[in-house]
């Protein structure tokens, strides 16, 4: 018969290993780069943020990324103000967010490169759109690197561009996301 | 046996906690990482550095230059108005051209020239407090200091006996609050220092309190108004020629880089140093007039931005 002490130790270790293994399969990233790019024959406009956040729950292949709209920086500050005030209404809708499930199934413990599709919801300007977003995941030394470029149509998210500035702002904005997620608590 | 039961129970509790931890959604984790709490500045209380007549708490963005052209026409009604002057449109009581430059996001310097009195003005405007969301500071505070120089020739030999008589100084702390995305209100006590006043009963130094507000009708169209209270504060009511408190109302249209304002006001003059001191027309006797402001913003030193991720290009 095993002593009570050993039994308790075994149970504790079992529980602990369960806990650590789930933790090891949750990845977080705090400095995700988000770039937006609008291109028309008249003007190219770019803005960038490096404070996007991301969470990946490996077991469920669930990925959530969000960026604070006000953290996107333009070289013209007045343009940035108009972006927040007139287009994104960032006081009302402070974040843009994507949440989805990644396929195919990935072994998150092994190094490798995967072309993936994330199926989920893109929420911009308070409007949710079901999206399949294509991207690339690279796993190296236990860290997960995300890269994705996709288009966001202003009209699909009820972002109205007045005819007066139609020539300067593209109807479809190119969004690039890039960043590294590391295991939680490590 | 009792003890092993206890351990099984303990194990189940632990297991439950573990399952709970793994079931933690990406959403709730994302919220704990949320960096949005860091950004709690309340911006764009007003669209422009001016409201109708008065300054707002807004300053120019860094390296932005604002070219501001303002026009006040003649009286719509009364003795000098009506169809004979096409309701004042034949007359220009004051014209103004000014340049406002953002040294930094919080410090703006400006120069301007008015037709009336050939007044040159130079001002410095510093944003001291920025309104914050939630538990932060609930208002904006901007400090304005403006000096005016009357450049015209004296009307009488006794006028401008000292060169300093041509100078006037305005000191104005401006306090505003953005109550919602639609409504912003402002109050601005000010002190105008003069060497002389036209009316011997009018004190040289005038204390006044201004009130201003914005109501946004759409994202780009706002109703704006400002009123400056002078009579009843430092000014006596026994003046030979009555002077009035300036009131301006207007529609402000923003088109991305340009701001157009269509205004009605009783003050003939555009710059504080003139309109606080000398508004001789009143809303009640046909002295109201039409005026407009055209503001065009230029971003200077764009070539200094070497970051390819934020560099914008105009073809």
| Residue A68's pLDDT band (cuts 50, 70, 90) | very high
- B170 burial (CB, 10 Å; 0-12 / 13-18 / 19+) is buried
A56 inside domain: yes
- Quote ipTM for the complex: 0.78
Q: Which two tokens stand for residue A83?
A: 């972006």
Say which residue the tokens 């011997």 belong to: B200
Q: Determine the pLDDT at residue B97.
A: 97
- Which of B17, B22, B34 should be substituted to probe chain A, the one whose Cβ sees the most A Cβ atoms within 10 Å? B22
CA distance B3 to chain A (A): 8
User: In the predicted model, is pLDDT for residue A4 greater than 80?
Assistant: no
Mean pLDDT of the residues in chain B: 88
pTM score, whole prediction: 0.82
Q: Is the pLDDT of residue A23 over 50?
A: no
Whether A68 is covered by a domain: the verdict is yes
Least confident of A169-173, B159-163, B254-258, B302-306: B302-306
CA distance B134 to B168: 41
pLDDT in tens, A161-172: 887 777 788 899
Which range of residues forms the domain containing residue A66? 25-183
Q: Is residue A3 part of a domain?
A: no
Strand pairing class (B247-254; B221-229): antiparallel
Q: Does B61 touch chain A (CB under 8 A)?
A: yes
Residue A167: per-residue pLDDT: 78
Any domain includes A10: no
Question: Of chain A residues 17-56, which have a CB less than 8 A from chain B?
Answer: 18-19, 22-23, 26, 28, 30, 33, 35, 41-48, 51, 53-56
CB atoms within 10 A of CB B294: 13
pLDDT value at A46 more than 90: yes
Per-chain mean pLDDT for chain A: 87
Residue A70: per-residue pLDDT? 92
Q: Is the pLDDT assigned to residue B11 strictly greater than 80?
A: no
Q: How far is CA A129 from CA A99, A120, A149, B129, in A?
A: 11, 8, 16, 39
pLDDT at residue number B159: 85
Which is nearest to B216 in space by CA: B41, B65, B59, B48?
B48
Sign of CA dihedral B14, B18, B23, B26: positive
CB atoms within 10 A of CB A181: 24
The widest CA-to-CA distance across chain B, in whole angstroms, is 116
Give the least confident one: A75-79, A119-123, A155-159. A75-79
Beta strands in chain B (DSSP E): 64-75, 92-102, 107-114, 119-129, 140-150, 167-178, 183-194, 206-216, 221-229, 247-254, 258-265, 289-299, 313-314
Q: Do A62 and B311 touch (CB under 8 A)?
A: no
Chain A neighbors of B44, CB-CB under 8 A? 81, 84-85
Burial class for A98, CB neighbours closer than 10 Å (0-12, 13-18, 19+): buried
CB contact under 8 A, B26 and A91: no
Q: Render pLDDT for B53-100 as a digit per residue (tens, 0 to 9).
A: 999 999 999 999 999 999 999 999 888 888 888 999 999 999 999 999
CB pairs under 8 A between A and B: 145
Q: Is residue A152 part of a domain?
A: yes
Residue with more model confidence, B29 or A85: A85
* Cβ proximity of A56 and B26 under 8 Å: yes
Q: In total, how many domains does chain A have?
A: 1
3-state secondary structure of B130: coil
The band of A24, judged by pLDDT with boundaries at 50, 70 and 90, is low
Strand partners, B113: B97, B120
Nearest of B255, B226, B155 to residue B196 by alpha carbon: B155
Residue A16 lies in a domain: no
Integer Cα distance of B224 and A77 in angstroms: 23
Segment among A153-157, B135-139, B184-188 with least mean pLDDT:
B135-139
Q: What is the CATH number of the domain that holds A94?
A: 2.40.128.110
Q: B132-182 pLDDT, tens per residue?
A: 987 788 999 999 999 999 999 998 888 888 888 999 999 999 999 999 989
Output DSSP code: residue A41.
Answer: S
Going by C-alpha positions, the residue among B223, B186, B44 that lies closest to residue A84 is B44
Instruction: Name the least confident of A68-77, B116-125, B261-270.
Output: A68-77
- In-domain check, residue A132: yes
Tell me what pLDDT residue B308 has.
80
In a domain, A6, yes or no: no
Domains and CATH numbers, chain B: 42-300 (2.40.160.40)
pLDDT confidence bin for A22, thresholds 50/70/90: very low
Q: What pLDDT shows up at residue B136? A: 82
* pLDDT value for B261: 95
């Amino acid at each position: 018969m095993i002593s009570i002490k050993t039994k308790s130790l075994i149970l504790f270790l079992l529980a602990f290993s369960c806990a650590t293994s789930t933790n090891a399969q949750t990845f977080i990233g705090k400095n995700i780069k988000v770039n937006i790019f609008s291109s028309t024959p008249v003007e190219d406009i770019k803005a960038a943020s490096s404070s996007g956040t991301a969470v990946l729950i490996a077991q469920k292949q669930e990925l959530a990324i969000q960026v604070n709209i006000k953290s996107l920086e333009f070289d013209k500050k007045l343009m940035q103000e108009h972006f927040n005030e007139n287009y994104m209404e960032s006081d009302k809708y402070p974040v843009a967010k994507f949440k989805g499930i990644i396929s195919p199934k990935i072994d998150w413990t092994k190094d490798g490169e995967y072309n993936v599709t994330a199926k989920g919801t893109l929420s911009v300007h308070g409007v949710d759109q079901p999206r399949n977003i294509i991207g690339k995941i690279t796993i190296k030394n236990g860290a997960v690197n995300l890269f994705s470029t996709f288009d966001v149509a202003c009209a699909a998210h009820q972002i109205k561009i007045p005819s007066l500035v139609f020539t300067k702002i593209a109807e479809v904005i190119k969004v690039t996301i890039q960043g590294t997620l590391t295991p939680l608590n490590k | 046996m009792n003890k092993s039961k206890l351990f099984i129970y303990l194990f189940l509790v632990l297991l439950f906690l573990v399952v709970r931890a793994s079931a933690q959604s990406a959403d709730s984790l994302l919220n704990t990482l949320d960096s949005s709490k860091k950004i709690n500045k309340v911006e764009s209380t007003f669209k422009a550095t001016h409201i109708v007549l008065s300054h707002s708490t807004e300053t120019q963005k860094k390296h932005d230059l604002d070219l501001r052209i303002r026009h006040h026409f003649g009286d719509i009604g009364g003795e000098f108005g009506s169809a004979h002057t096409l309701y004042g449109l034949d007359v220009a009581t004051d014209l103004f051209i000014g340049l406002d430059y953002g040294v930094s996001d919080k410090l703006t310097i400006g120069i301007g020239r008015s037709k009336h009195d050939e007044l040159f003005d130079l001002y410095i405007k510093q944003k001291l407090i920025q309104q914050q969301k939630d538990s932060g500071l609930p208002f904006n505070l901007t400090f304005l200091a403006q000096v005016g120089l009357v450049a015209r020739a004296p009307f009488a030999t006794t006028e401008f006996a000292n060169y300093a008589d041509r100078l006037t100084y305005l000191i104005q702390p401006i306090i505003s609050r953005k109550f919602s995305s639609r409504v912003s209100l402002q109050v601005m006590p000010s002190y105008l220092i003069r060497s002389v006043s036209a009316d011997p009963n009018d004190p040289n130094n005038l204390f006044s309190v201004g009130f201003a507000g914005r109501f946004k009708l759409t994202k780009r169209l706002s109703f704006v108004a400002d009123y400056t209270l002078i009579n009843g504060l430092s000014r006596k009511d026994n003046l030979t020629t009555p002077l009035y408190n300036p009131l301006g109302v207007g529609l402000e249209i923003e088109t991305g880089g340009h701001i157009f304002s269509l205004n009605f006001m009783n003050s003939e003059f555009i710059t504080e140093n003139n309109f606080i001191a000398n508004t001789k027309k009143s809303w009640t006797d046909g002295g109201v007039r039409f005026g407009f402001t055209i503001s065009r913003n230029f971003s200077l030193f764009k070539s200094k931005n070497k970051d390819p991720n934020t560099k914008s290009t105009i073809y």
